[in-house]
Structure 1
Amino acid sequence: MTTMWQQVLAIDAKYNTYRTPNNPQFRTLYIRRRSQLLRESAKAGFDPQLRKQYLKQRMQLLTDKYGASISLSDQSGSLWSRSASVRGSRTNLDMLDDSLSEIRTHRRQHSRGSSSKLDLMVEDQARLVPTREAGASKAMAGGTSLSENYAFTGMHHIFDHHQRAVTAVKFANDDKSRIACSSLDKTISICQVLPSPATVVCVLKGHTKGITDFSWSLSNDLILSCSLDATARLWVVSSGACARTVTDPQRAPLHACCFQPLNNNMVVTGNTRGLIQVLNVSTGKPTKGGQGKLTGQVLCLAFNDSGTLLWGGDDKGVISSFQYDMATGKLTKGKRLVVCEGSPITCISFRAWVSREARDPLLLINCAVNQLCLYKITSSDGEVSLKKTFSIKHRKETIRSSFCPLMSFREGACVVTGSEDMSVYFFDIERKLKPCVNKLQGHSAPVMGVSFNYDESLLATSDAEGLVIVWKRQQDEGAPILVEQT
Structure 2
Amino acid sequence: MAAVWQQVLAVDARYNAYRTSNFPQFRTQYIRRRSQLLRENAKGGFDPLLRRQYLKLRSQLLAQRYGPLSEQSSFRTYSNSVRSSRTTLDRMEEPARTVPRPNGRDFEDDLRAQGARGHRRSVSRGSYQLQAQMNRVTYEDKSPGSVVPTSVAEASRAMAGDTTLSENYAFAGMYHIFDQHVDEAVPKVQFANDDKNRLACCSLDGTVSIFQLVPTPPAVLRVLRGHGRGVTDFAWSLSNDVIVTTSLDATMRIWATEDGKCIREIPDPDCSELLCCTFQPMNNNLTVVGNNKHNVHVMNISTGKKVKGGSSKLTGRVLSLSFDSPGRILWAGDDRGSIFSFLFDMATGKLTKAKRLVVSEGSSITSISARSWISREARDPSLLVNACVNKLLLYRVVDNEGTLQLKRTFEIQQSANPVHSIFCPLMSFRQGACVVTGSEDMCVYFFDVERATKAIVNKLQGHSAAVLDVSFNCDESLLASSDAKGMVIIWRREQK
Q: 1:465 to 1:136 in 2, by over 3 A?
A: closer
Give 1:222 deviation, angstroms: 0.3
SS at match of 2:222: strand
Give 1:251 deviation, angstroms: 1.0
Aligned residue number for residue 371 of structure 1: 391
Give 1:273 deviation, angstroms: 1.1
Q: 1:149 aligned to 2:168?
A: yes
Q: State the Cα deviation string for residues 92-140 of structure 1 (Å, max 9, x = none).
A: 99xxxxxxxxxxxxxxxxxxxxxxxxxxxxxxxxxxx962673455655
Give 1:152 deviation, angstroms: 1.8
Aligned residue number for residue 448 of structure 1: 468
SS at match of 2:410: strand
Spell out the pairing of 1:239-318 with structure 2 (5 A cutoff): 239-318=259-338
Aligned residue number for residue 66 of structure 1: none
Q: State the Cα deviation string for residues 56-97 of structure 1 (Å, max 9, x = none).
A: xxxxxxxxxxxxxxxxxxxxxxxxxxxxxxxxxxx999xxxx
Q: 1:161 aligned to 2:180?
A: yes
Q: 1:368 to 1:135 in 2, by over 3 A?
A: same
One of 330, 340, 347 as aligned partner of 2:360: 340
SS at match of 1:147: helix
Q: How many residues align?
A: 351
AA paired with 1:313?
G
One of 400, 404, 419 as aligned partner of 1:384: 404
The TM-score with structure 2 as length reference comes to 0.69
Give 1:170 deviation, angstroms: 0.1
Distance 1:168 1:473 in 2: 21
Aligned residue number for residue 185 of structure 1: 205
Distance 2:329 2:363 in 1: 24
Q: State the Cα deviation string for residues 395-419 of structure 1 (Å, max 9, x = none).
A: 1111110001002654210000000
Give 1:141 deviation, angstroms: 6.4
Distance 1:141 1:461 in 2: 24
Aligned residue number for residue 359 of structure 1: 379
Q: 1:134 aligned to 2:143?
A: no
Distance 1:406 1:215 in 2: 20
Aligned residue number for residue 229 of structure 1: 249
Q: State the Cα deviation string for residues 457-484 of structure 1 (Å, max 9, x = none).
A: 00000001110000001133xxxxxxxx
Q: 1:435 aligned to 2:469?
A: no
Task: Answer 1 or 2: higher relative contact order, Cα 8 Å, separation at least 6.
Answer: 2
SS at match of 1:397: coil
Q: State the Cα deviation string for residues 256-280 of structure 1 (Å, max 9, x = none).
A: 1011111111111000111000011
CA contact (8 A) 2:468 2:481 kept: yes
CA contact (8 A) 2:156 2:428 kept: no
Identical columns (%): 61
Compare 365-374 and 409-418 and name the one that shifted more. 409-418
CA contact (8 A) 2:318 2:334 kept: yes
Q: State the Cα deviation string for residues 336-383 of structure 1 (Å, max 9, x = none).
A: 000111100000001111212210110000001111100000111111
One of 413, 427, 450 as aligned partner of 1:393: 413
AA paired with 1:154?
G
AA paired with 2:224?
L
AA paired with 1:454?
C
Q: State the Cα deviation string for residues 281-303 of structure 1 (Å, max 9, x = none).
A: 11101111000111000001001
Q: 1:465 to 1:325 in 2, by over 3 A?
A: same
Distance 2:256 2:157 in 1: 45
Q: 1:154 to 1:282 in 2, by over 3 A?
A: same
CA contact (8 A) 1:414 1:426 kept: yes
Unpaired runs of 5+ residues, structure 1, are 1-90, 94-128, 477-486
Q: 1:370 to 1:294 in 2, by over 3 A?
A: same
Distance 2:325 2:428 in 1: 20
Q: 1:194 to 1:383 in 2, by over 3 A?
A: same
Give 1:165 deviation, angstroms: 0.6
Distance 1:305 1:133 in 2: 29
Aligned residue number for residue 61 of structure 2: none
The TM-score with structure 1 as length reference comes to 0.70
Which one has the largest radius of gyration?
Answer: 1
Give 1:142 deviation, angstroms: 4.0
CA contact (8 A) 2:426 2:476 kept: yes
Q: 1:462 aligned to 2:482?
A: yes
Distance 1:443 1:138 in 2: 32
Q: State the Cα deviation string for residues 159-205 of structure 1 (Å, max 9, x = none).
A: 00114110100000000100100000000000001221100000000
Runs of 4+ deviating beyond 6 Å: none
Q: State the Cα deviation string for residues 232-262 of structure 1 (Å, max 9, x = none).
A: 1100101101111111121111111011111
CA contact (8 A) 1:399 1:449 kept: yes
CA contact (8 A) 2:269 2:306 kept: no
AA paired with 1:160?
D
Unpaired runs of 5+ residues, structure 2, are 1-94, 98-147
